[in-house]
Structure 1
Amino acid sequence: MRRDQLNEVEWQKVLRHAEVLRRLPQRPTAGDVADAMAELAVSRATLFRWLKRFRTEERAAALIHRKSGRRGGIDAFEPALKAIVDRNVTTFYAMPERPTLTRLRKHIVADCRAEQLPPPSIRRLKGYLATLDVEAMTRRREGKARADAQFLALPGEFSAQRPLQVVQIDHTKVDVTVVDPIERQPIGRPILSIAIDVCTRMVLGFYLSLEAPSVTSVALCLTHAIIDKARWLEDRGIALEWPTSGLPERIHVDNGAEFHARAFKRGCDDHNIIVSYRPPGTPRFGGHIERLIGTMMGAVHLLPGTHFSNVLERGDYDPEARAVMTMRELEAWLALEIIAYHSDLHRGIGRPPVAAWNEAISDYPRRQVLDPLAFLIDFLPFEARVLRRTGIHLNNICYWSDGFAPWIGRCEDKVLVKYDPRDLHRVFVKLGDNYLMVPTRNPGRPAITLWEQKAAIRVQRARGRHEIDEETIFQTIAAQRALVDQAIRETTQTRRWRARRAHLQERPAISPSVPMDEPVIALPHFPVEVWE
């Protein structure tokens, strides 16, 4: 029993006992011992046991009555039985599959019968397990993350002193199914990339995608974070303010492959942005972004088509049947939710994030980006290619621009070619100090994604074609698109395929190879002003 569990009468009794023991000399005489025994009404053995505890611990609480029975940590089994129990605990119970106590006892009973030993009762076995290291057992059965969450002390704090000093970025799969904008059929759960300012807790920007996290999704999230969002909000019919913009000083991220990509590192270096990585396996170092994601996903659970946090919460709710929101509608909804989050009281800083931002940003000048498209280009994936007389060859596609003419035969080194995986209709080639936007050599061909290009090459190689040319790629993609568009009953996979290229807005153009009296071919348009 602990001191705080005693009532006042019991505690005063303990203090009186302590006072009697305190008066005893270091070497009490027989008379001293007899007087103390009479005053405390205890036997000689109890008196000396109390005296030993009191002088060892030098505190009155040492005299609090202790529960009788075996003390924790004392082995409850004979050596032979203990060996059997320990062996089964180590090789069976302390496993990630987390066997139950009943299953553990069945294994022990089987071994005890083989050794002709009496097996322990389940109550005695449970008591023995309680004497083992709980943290070590939790780590082996439930993993490091669970053990850290339960036992790891977190005395420190990760903080920033000014806005944009530290920005955290992370990804999560959104707990809601979205639908395609044409037939409103479910196409799956999108991936959210989101950035937060550690100092003010303002959400700086985000990006939704149907693709797995990549350097491109990071670039688009960063581009949204650094721009002024007035035009972006107006384009989505939102008449509210989102005042964040500017280049961060430091980006704090986990160890995902997209954050170790060459394009990401070089883009940050070019704009004087420091990249800091969390220690592997330590999500607590990204606590600000993790809590933000938890808050956003909690709000998403109110939307039709939600998947909730787990199967038990979902019950018999069918997210696919209830889904109603398109990617663009979900994007606008998230923007409104973020703006509301900015205006609400944040317990971590004791005030609304927007108030903290407006007050702090006036004291610190921001580094602004004048050309968001140029900033995005700096973070796009890139390859070094030879500038040939026929143009640039990348991903089995040839690109040409009349701007190459002054450089043909004069480029001794390879040139840097940047590309947007969402649209291979054009690339950005660095010539001198500037980037030249270069379309495909055949302007009559439609825009395609890198995902479609790789799929087309896989199809051709599966057919035994080792040499893949540009014409074959576009013919294969055209055939695949025709199958998708003509499917009588579309599956989720094909709807996702169409949604992947939905951002390639169509624009009218006439192919040089098509007579004027033929139908006009619609070519996708590169979305240059999405982030303005």
Structure 2
Amino acid sequence: MGNDRFRGIGLPEPIANPRRLRLDFLPFRTRTVQSEGIVWDKIWYRDPLLSQWVKTDEGRRRRKFKVRRDPTDISKLYFLDPMLNDYVEIPYRDTGRPSISLWDYRAVEAWLHRQGKAAENEQAIFDAYEDMHRITAEATRQTKRVRREQAKKRELGKHRAELTLDPPRPPAESQAKPKAMRRRDGHLALVVNNQEADPPKPRPTSNDFDFDDAEIKRGVEEW
């Protein structure tokens, strides 16, 4: 799509060989081809296709070839064949080896170093990888077992709590409940045990008035 200044040129051409483009961006090394194959990081790779390039010379030196490797899976190399002008997959020389990543390989080296050992050869590398894998798997199983046991203990404790015969205790109340009692006059009154409140004053009765009979009679006559 163009504008006033630039002329549109349309969509770019599709990539003719996406695989080749992807492989061209992988890390590479130059290696000679030996009768045992090609070695990279002490791991050997071999394929019958390499036989024509074994110990070939380039002037006075052994000829080196470009090989690439995918860091996520170093179980194979990509050998740039000069005659085909394309990459050819070269697997492990020992195809029984497990597929590992470059990060797995570095972890094995670090683990051997902590043990005071060295990644001397391919056998030592994959033996250490198997040991690490076995230790990790065992730790995972132990963790799952501990979690299952903890879950069983929680369920058992919950079940025991549901079967207990002890009734739940009511929460403590900050104030006592009022009690009903009968007064002298026959009416009911509520008595609250509250130390802060003033005690109720008693209702006067006929015996509490200090009048003599003459004063009472005079008052009645006046009424």
**CA distance in structure 2 between the partners assigned to 1:161 and 1:415 by the alignment:** 45
Q: Tell me: CA distance 1:467–1:365, structure 2 relative to 1, closer, same or farther (3 Å).
A: closer
Counterpart mapping for 1:200-219 below 5 A:
none
The counterpart of 2:94, out of the listed 422, 432, 442, is 442
1:409 maps to which of 55, 62, 65: 55
* 1:107-146 correspondence runs (5 A): none
Distance 2:133 2:19 in 1: 29
State the identity as a percent.
Answer: 23
Instruction: List structure 1 segments (4+ residues) > 4 angstroms apart after TM superposition.
Output: none
Aligned with 1:380 (options 13, 26, 51): 26
Consecutive unaligned residues of structure 2, counting only runs of 5 or more, are: 145-223
- Which structure has greater strand proportion? 2
Residues 7-39 of structure 1, C-alpha deviation per residue, up to 9 Å, x if partnerless?
A: xxxxxxxxxxxxxxxxxxxxxxxxxxxxxxxxx
- Separation in 1 of the partners of 2:131 and 2:16? 42
**What SS does the aligned partner of 2:20 have?**
helix
Aligned amino acid, residue 426 of structure 1: K
Tell me what 1:464 maps to.
116
1:425 paired to 2:81? no
Task: Give the CA RMSD over aligned residues.
Answer: 2.3
Q: Partner of 1:489: helix, strand, or coil?
A: helix
The Cα shift of 1:381 comes to 0.7
Long gaps (5+) in structure 1: 1-159, 163-359, 491-532
CA distance in 2, matches of 1:383, 1:404: 16
- Check whether the contact 1:460–1:468 (CA below 8 A) recurs between aligned residues: no
SS of 2:35's partner is coil
2:39 maps to 393
Alignment of 1:248-267 (within 5 A): none
**Following TM superposition, by how much is the alpha carbon of 1:161 offset from its aligned partner in structure 2, in angstroms?**
6.6
- Could you tell me which amino acid in structure 2 is paired with residue 376 of structure 1? R
Residue of structure 1 in register with 2:182 after alignment: none
Give the CA deviation at 1:395: 1.6
State the secondary structure of the residue aligned to 1:405: helix
Deviation at 1:416, TM superposition (A): 0.9
Cα–Cα, structure 1 residues 422 and 467, in superposed 2: closer, same or farther, change >3 Å?
closer
Shift, 1:371, TM fit: 2.9
Per the alignment, do residues 465 and 484 of structure 1 end up closer, same or farther by CA in structure 2, a change over 3 Å counting? closer
Deviations 1:210-258 (A, max 9, x none): xxxxxxxxxxxxxxxxxxxxxxxxxxxxxxxxxxxxxxxxxxxxxxxxx
Confirm or deny: 8 A CA contact 1:457 1:468 kept in the other structure.
no
Aligned partners of 2:108 and 2:128 also within 8 Å: yes
Deviation at 1:390, TM superposition (A): 1.0
Q: Could you report, residue by residue, the CA deviation over 1:407-457 in whole angstroms, capped at 9, with x for unpaired residues? A: 112253211110000001101011202212100000111100000001111
Alignment of 1:77-226 (within 5 A): none
Whether the 8 Å CA contact 1:424–1:449 is kept in 2: the answer is yes
**Could you tell me how far apart the structure 1 residues matched to 2:117 and 2:99 are?**
23
Which residues in structure 2 correspond to 1:274-353 (within 5 Å)? none
- Residue of structure 1 in register with 2:143 after alignment: 489
User: SS at the partner of 2:79?
Assistant: strand
Aligned partners of 1:401 and 1:438 also within 8 Å: yes
Q: How far off its partner does 1:481 sit?
A: 1.6
Aligned length: 132
- Once the two structures are superposed, the pairs formed by residues 11-30 of structure 1 within 5 Å of their partners are none
Q: In structure 2, what residue type is equivalent to 1:451?
A: W
The one-letter code sitting in structure 2 at the alignment partner of 1:410 is: T
Give the aligned residue type for 2:17. D
1:154-194 CA-partner distances (Å, limit 9, x unpaired): xxxxxx979xxxxxxxxxxxxxxxxxxxxxxxxxxxxxxxx
Name the structure where helix makes up a greater proportion of residues. Answer: 1
Deviation at 1:368, TM superposition (A): 1.6
TM-score w.r.t. length of structure 1:
0.24
| 8 Å Cα contact 2:81/2:87 also seen in 1 | yes
Is 1:370 aligned with 2:16? yes
State the AA in 1 paired with 2:63.
D
